[in-house]
Structure 1
Amino acid sequence: MKKFVKTTALAMSLLTCVACHANTNSNTKRIAMSQRSAQPVPKIEEPEIKVALLLDTSNSMDGLIDQAKAQLWQIVNELSYAKCDEQNPNLKIALYEYGNDNLNADEGYLRQVIQFSDDLDEISKSLFSLTTKGGNEYCGKVIKAALDQLNWGESNKDLKFIFIAGNEPYTQGNFSYKNASKLAHQNDITVNTIFCGDYNQGVSSYWKDGADLTHGNYMAINHNKATVHITSPYDDRILELNELLNKTYVAYGKVGRKKIELQAEQDSNARGYNKANAVSRTVSKSSRLYKNSTWDLVDAEKEEHFSYDKLEESELPKELKGKSKVEIKSYINKKRKEREKLQLAIVELNTKRRLYIDKKSIDSANGLENAMVKAIRKQAEKKNYKWNN
């Protein structure tokens, strides 16, 4: 009998251990599964189009700078139609000037005007800040500076372009353009050269060789040719909608007031050329590339880490001071719906506008915009980019 009791007790002990072990394994699996499910789903990084624009700002380049100012918005609009594997790539633009006597000689007469940015108003402001004066143009040196100073990233989906424009021999300066091209090519960065003048003269002064070394495009443009803007029957209405669109921005924080003023300033700069250029800017403001989450609550609310709880009373515009969180949310939601409706109307009008413009026969083949867009489209095909326009 004692032997039976001992055997039974031993069996029960073993069963208990097995059960405990099973429960432990089960709990461990549940915890592991819970931990796995609690882990954030990795965010798929959107591809980027990165464009570093290197502009000669010596005395003879007033026409080039003028084209860049006048054609910025057409370039942005063209790039807004790009897609990569069904994703919408972001656009970042950096700007350098070189060859200007006002710049530091020890640094090679070059200056980073703005690093890679997706703030289109700041990019426009930077372009309008450029002036021309004398100078020595060192192409290899400014390319090397852009390679070293800018954050190009490592994604093989990104398009990485340098566009350098000027009219002096490409060989000037103490840093070889060949070494600069080699460094660019090693980092998957394509250098496109734009010679401001006769095509064959650019070839003989090595601008074409500079592009060929990175499989880029060599282009020659008439930089003194005035930008041709075609007016359309839809322009007035688009500009009216732009005024309403501006009223949907809800500036907040320390920089809000300055940024809303900057937005108006760049509207004015675009109008300074003519109505059609202002229309192109309005179309850009209706695209996915016009982002202002750093100062506009409507855009900021869409950001992953935004929280109404973190908003300080002092950051709010006067129309939202003293309001509850529910009232603020309701106000922002109303502004968002207004903006989406206006943007849709602008896009629809622009579709008609583009069809109207396409019917007009205008020779713009030698302009900065045409040269840049043509090069980008051609090289983007290698990475499966397509245009949905």
Structure 2
Amino acid sequence: MKTHLKTFAFCAALIGFTSCNANNKKPKLYAEHTVEHEIEKKKNDKEPNKQFIKVALLLDTSNSMDGLIDQAKAQLWDIVNELSYAKCGTNKPNLQIALYEYGNDNLNGDEGYIKQVLAFSDDLDDISKELFSLTTNGGEEYCGQVIQTSLNQLNWGKNPDDLKLIFIAGNEAFTQGKVNYQDATTNANEKDVTVNTIFCGNYRQGISSKWQAGAQLTKGDYMAIEQNTKTVHIASPYDDTILILNKKLNNTYVTYGSKGQRKMEMQAEQDKNAAGYSKANAVSRSVSKSSHLYKNKSWDLVDAEEMDEVVISDLTDDALPAELKGKSTEEIKGYIDIKRKEREDIQNEIQELNAKRKVYISKQKTEGNNGLENAMTNAIKAQAQKKNYTWK
């Protein structure tokens, strides 16, 4: 009888997990000291976090949208940084961003003047590169069709803990095109995707042209911004030190494979693109690079080994950088360990300085700054709470 009571009490203790916790922990029905438990524990410790924040950004690239594209380029890293503070239970969720452009005469009219610029990706350098490649030109803006296209083409997954969001920004009527926005948002609901609308112009005009209705059908947020407002970058006393640390951080990357050198050059190029807007924006990118969201397993041996992307002993000399050619497996692993420790120390230092920077900036900010950034981060936080995400 006592055994039955203990079993019942144990099972009852498992009830009441939040949605985030449900996928993070699996009950162990065997003793803590068994061999099986140790194997399972090591396996779970190695497993990556399963939760994702998936954001599809649908940007109108018609003639009048130069200001919107500039805001997206200038504010990407602040948005990424805000998302890096999210937690799902005890885990930090992964981030994937997809990018579409629509309403541009240079695009295929038979496909609704819509282009998938980038499918869901966690490669932040690729995301930055594609944003900076966008140009504007006049065209037809079919909101319903671009929403439906993103729902059809992207891998949204079926994890109920994932936060799946569409942000569509533009300034023409939401009702244009052959795909009814109500049908598109109904399909979004079926995929557990929330549609958020950002009207570039007068708030009331956005309501009358159905941008608010488009958001309400999925319980998303409707927002209106002035797209031609310049992004406000606030300098801080910590910026110069963070930028120096960023240069040191770049030196911890160890290229491998056919695209290693090219991706390292892209990393430097995106540093330069960020700095092109302001020193403060370059600092924001440096902070992003110090977070768990900035991973480069496809070309960096430090990330690749940690994430089990490669087996060091399988790499040939052709795949290695000059400093590791002819080295033994043990020597290569030792070198990677040194670089990993250097990187962790630098990232921790940047994060500590950024904590002070955030406090400083919060005291300098005024209401109404940075339309796209504020619109997106406020909506994401509000909708994340419904799935028990928290912000540290």
Instruction: Verify same fold: TM over 0.5.
Output: yes
Partner of residue 357, structure 1: 361
Question: Amino acid of the residue matched to residue 75 of structure 2?
Answer: Q
Instruction: Say which of 87, 90, 94 aligns to 2:94.
Output: 90
Structure 1 stretch displaced more, 57-66 or 307-316: 307-316
- Say whether 1:113 aligns with 2:117: yes
Instruction: Tell me if structure 1 keeps the 8 A contact 2:56–2:167.
Output: yes
In the alignment, the residues of structure 2 paired with residue 70 and residue 329 of structure 1 have an alpha-carbon distance, to the nearest angstrom, of: 38
Partner of residue 331, structure 2: 327
Q: Tell me the CA shift for residue 364 of structure 1.
A: 3.4
Q: 1:339 to 1:366 in 2, by over 3 A?
A: closer
Alignment of 1:240-251 (within 5 A): 240-251=244-255
- Say whether 1:64 aligns with 2:49: no
In the alignment, the residues of structure 1 paired with residue 265 and residue 255 of structure 2 have an alpha-carbon distance, to the nearest angstrom, of: 10
- Say whether 1:300 aligns with 2:304: yes
Q: Tell me the CA shift for residue 306 of structure 1.
A: 3.0
- Say whether 1:273 aligns with 2:277: yes
Q: Tell me the CA shift for residue 361 of structure 1.
A: 3.4
Structure 1 stretch displaced more, 313-322 or 42-51: 42-51
Instruction: Say which of 320, 326, 330 aligns to 1:316.
Output: 320
Render the CA deviation track for 1:36-65: whole Å, top value 9, x for unaligned.
998995757520000000000000000000
Partner of residue 52, structure 1: 56
Number of aligned residue pairs: 356
Instruction: Tell me if structure 2 keeps the 8 A contact 1:365–1:371.
Output: no
Instruction: Say which of 176, 190, 200 aligns to 1:172.
Output: 176
Render the CA deviation track for 1:197-245: whole Å, top value 9, x for unaligned.
0000000000000000000000000110000000011101110111111
In the alignment, the residues of structure 2 paired with residue 38 and residue 381 of structure 1 have an alpha-carbon distance, to the nearest angstrom, of: 34
Instruction: Tell me if structure 2 keeps the 8 A contact 1:222–1:366.
Output: no
SS of equivalent to 1:220? strand
Instruction: Tell me if structure 1 keeps the 8 A contact 2:231–2:369.
Output: no
In the alignment, the residues of structure 2 paired with residue 318 and residue 366 of structure 1 have an alpha-carbon distance, to the nearest angstrom, of: 44
Instruction: Say which of 186, 211, 217 aligns to 1:182.
Output: 186
Q: 1:325 to 1:366 in 2, by over 3 A?
A: closer
Instruction: Say which of 215, 218, 231 aligns to 1:211.
Output: 215
5+ residue gaps, structure 2 = 1-33
Partner of residue 16, structure 2: none
Question: Amino acid of the residue matched to residue 77 of structure 1?
Answer: N
- Say whether 1:369 aligns with 2:383: no
Q: 1:178 to 1:269 in 2, by over 3 A?
A: same
SS of equivalent to 1:266? helix
5+ residue gaps, structure 1 = 1-32
Structure 1 stretch displaced more, 291-300 or 356-365: 356-365
SS of equivalent to 1:301? helix
Instruction: Say which of 370, 380, 387 aligns to 1:383.
Output: 387
Partner of residue 137, structure 1: 141
In the alignment, the residues of structure 2 paired with residue 370 and residue 188 of structure 1 have an alpha-carbon distance, to the nearest angstrom, of: 23
SS of equivalent to 1:359? helix
- Say whether 1:236 aligns with 2:268: no
In the alignment, the residues of structure 2 paired with residue 241 and residue 44 of structure 1 have an alpha-carbon distance, to the nearest angstrom, of: 27
Partner of residue 19, structure 2: none
SS of equivalent to 1:115? strand
Question: Amino acid of the residue matched to residue 151 of structure 1?
Answer: N
Instruction: Tell me if structure 2 keeps the 8 A contact 1:220–1:366.
Output: no
Q: Tell me the CA shift for residue 329 of structure 1.
A: 1.2
Q: Tell me the CA shift for residue 365 of structure 1.
A: 5.0
Q: 1:360 to 1:45 in 2, by over 3 A?
A: closer
Structure 1 stretch displaced more, 141-150 or 359-368: 359-368
